[in-house]
Amino acid sequence: MKQPRYDINIKNFLPHREPMLLATVTPYLDQESVITHFNIPEDCIFLDEEGQLSEAGLIENAAQASSSIVGQSYFDDDDVEGTGNKLVGYISAIKKAEVYELPKIGELLVTKAKLVSRFDTGTMSICTITSSTFRNDDLIVDCNFNFLIHEV
């Protein structure tokens, strides 16, 4: 069983790069849950005309955080740089996406996700994950995803 990871650089484990990387700090990650942080920069490509992170940006943030739970299992415990594997993940379904408020430039988002179910077929995983995003302890996004994650 993998040990929890603290303060990892999630960029090493996601295929996303700037400007698509929307989960930048990961204070906690274990086999069933994750917590990520994202401070909304003024050059974020998902900003609307009023300087708020759009619904698409909020869902992408939640998806990136969520996929790291299962994605990490394809890496060795001592691989803190994310060099031991190459993964591709797809959102196969957004079962629920409720956006209550749009956050603004400079605000910190804290996204918490939990694994609901997982089915592995060797080099591929199919999973369901729930996710909640907070701003100042206020719930602003609630999602439920299905993912397909596989090695390439």
> Has residue 21 got a pLDDT over 90?
no
Tell me the average pLDDT across 20-40.
90
* Strands 33-39 vs 124-135: parallel, antiparallel or unpaired: unpaired
Nearest to 49 by CA among 105, 110, 99, 98: 105
How confident is the model at residue 110, as a pLDDT? 97
> How far from chain centre, in Å, is Cα 3?
19
pLDDT of residue 20: 74
Q: Which pLDDT score, from 0 to 100, does residue 83 have?
A: 63
Question: What integer pLDDT is reported at residue 101 of this predicted model?
Answer: 97
